[in-house]
Amino acid sequence: MPELNNIALKIIGNGKGILAADESTGTMTKRLDKVNIKSTPENRLNFRHTLFTSNSIKNCIGGVILYDETIKQTFNSKTIPEIISETGAIPGIKVDTGAKVLSKSPKEKITEGLDGLRERLKEYYKLGARFTKWRGVYTITNEFPSKLAIHSNAHALARYAALAQEEGMVPIVEPEVLMDGNHNAVTCLKKTSEVIKKCFDELILHKIELKGVILKPNMILSGSDSDEKISSKEIAELTLKCLIDSVPSEVPGIAFLSGGQTEIEATKNLDSINKQNKSNFIMSYSYGRALQQNALKYWSINTNDINGTQKIFDHRANMCALAAQGKWTEKLEQI
327 is catalytic: no
Amino acid identity, position 65 = I
Rounded to 10°, the helix 41-52/289-301 angle is 120
* Spatial contact of 29 and 39, defined as CB atoms under 8 Å apart: yes
311 is catalytic: no
Selection from 3, 14, 19 nearest residue 310 by Cα: 19
The distance of Cα 309 from the centroid of its chain, to the nearest Å, equals 22
Say which of 174, 176, 202, 263 is annotated catalytic.
Answer: 174
E-only strand ranges, 5-52: 17-20
**DSSP assignments along 20-56, one per residue:** E----HHHHHHHHHHTT----HHHHHHHHHHHHTSHH
What distance in Å separates the CA atoms of residue 320 and residue 283, rounded to the nearest whole number?
Answer: 11
What distance in Å separates the CA atoms of residue 263 and residue 194, rounded to the nearest whole number?
Answer: 28
* Spatial contact of 91 and 71, defined as CB atoms under 8 Å apart: yes
Peptide bond into 145 cis (omega under 30): yes
* Spatial contact of 6 and 90, defined as CB atoms under 8 Å apart: no
Say which of 216, 237, 263, 268 is annotated catalytic.
Answer: 216
Residues classed as catalytic: 174, 216
